[in-house]
A and B are shown apart, each in its own frame.
Chain A
Amino acid sequence: MKEKQLNEKESLELITQMIRNTRQRIEKGNGIPFLIWGYTTVLVSLLVWYLLSTTGNPNWNYLWFLIPVIGFPAMMWAIRKQEKGVKTYIDRVIGYVWIVVGIAGLVVSASAIFLWNLPILFIVILMMGSGTAITGLIIKFKPIIFSGFAGILLSFVCLIVKGYASILLFALIFLVMMVIPGHILNVNKKHY
């Protein structure tokens, strides 16, 4: 654009055009965070379940920390890769929702492992479900809203079922709550 004098009508059109372009570019967000956390959780759960049920050695529970250890760096990498150059309030809010839920999850998990016997699987599903539902409502994407609420409701399956089987249920719930919607979101994005 060169420096050009505008008349009033052109000014109005320019403003409108710029605003509309910008709004069109606001994507609904992609499914990558869901896929990262979803797959990491599912795979680590299955690993822990396998090791626990075959050896009975409770120390394998420390492997749960693989989830944040793998998850957080993966998220950082994903964010860096998709440097869009523009941040909308939706991006900001969703980013923070996940940070908050993630840290809360970490705090509670650490307490469960080092301090008390908490129904940790139940609590984690509850929190991740809440995070998912909140994100879904913000980006107004029904499958994710639904999966989040489903997660919250299914969470106390892990409160009721005892023993190693609850870990399998935990993995299954995460599959349904995060992995599948994550894929749906990615596919959907291309048609947006």
Chain B
Amino acid sequence: MFKPLDPLLHSELRLAIISILLSVEEADFVYLKEQTKSTSGNLSVQIDKLSEAGYIEVKRGFVGKRTRTVCKITRVGIKAFEEYVESLKGYLNLNK
């Protein structure tokens, strides 16, 4: 049973972002950057891709003079992640 892996998730940084957002209510840009050890530019691009696909919700706001970007996983994102993990299981040949 080899189901195709979602290409949107099958990429290191995006997968890391989704995994983090799965575990919390919301996380901001700074936290995500810390956890994934990525560059701002790259992180920003990947967040936009995930957001466009509807996997995450992004809210941009201000804290004083700084901008603050907060991300949250969506139902669609959870479902996509779940399917991705299912596919992984298939590839790893695990019986559940």
Q: Judging by beta carbons under 8 Å apart, are A6 and B11 in contact?
A: yes
Chain B 49-77 interface mask (CB, 8 Å, partner A; 1/0): 00000000000000100000000000000
Question: CA–CA, A18 to B35, complex, Å?
Answer: 8
Tell me the minimal C-beta distance from B4 to chain A in angstroms.
12
- Taking a contact as CB atoms under 8 Å apart, the answer to whether B88 and A87 are in contact is no
Are B10's CB and A11's CB within 8 A? yes
Q: Check A81 for interface membership: any CB of B closer than 8 A.
A: no
Q: Which of B10, B24, B28 has the most CB of A within 10 A?
A: B24
Neighbour of A87 across the interface among B19, B25, B91, CB < 8 A = B25
**What's the nearest-Cβ distance from chain A to residue B39, in Å?**
8
Q: Does the CB pair A85–B12 fall under 8 Å?
A: no
Query: Is there an interface contact between A1 and B25, defined as CB atoms closer than 8 Å?
Result: no
Given the known interface contacts A8-B91, A19-B22, A21-B35, the answer about A1 and B12 at a Cβ–Cβ threshold of 8 Å is yes
Q: How far is the CA of A11 from the CA of B18 in the complex (A)?
A: 12
Q: How far is the CA of A22 from the CA of B32 in the complex (A)?
A: 10
Q: Give the distance to chain B from A147, nearest Cβ to Cβ, in Å.
A: 27
Residues of chain A within 8 A of B22, CB atoms compared: 19
A14 interface residue (CB < 8 Å to B): yes
A85:B11 contact, CB within 8 angstroms? no
Q: Is the CB of A11 within 8 A of B36?
A: no
Q: How far is the CA of A1 from the CA of B88 in the complex (A)?
A: 21
Q: Are A22 and B88 in contact (CB under 8 A)?
A: no
Closest chain-A Cβ to B83's Cβ sits at a distance in Å of: 13
Whether B15 and A14, one on each chain, are in contact in the complex, defined by CB atoms closer than 8 angstroms, is yes
Q: Would you mind naming 24 contact pairs between A and B with Cβ atoms under 8 Å apart? A: A1-B16, A1-B36, A1-B42, A2-B12, A3-B42, A4-B11, A4-B12, A6-B12, A8-B91, A8-B92, A12-B88, A12-B92, A15-B15, A15-B19, A18-B16, A18-B23, A19-B22, A19-B23, A22-B19, A22-B24, A85-B28, A87-B25, A88-B24, A88-B25
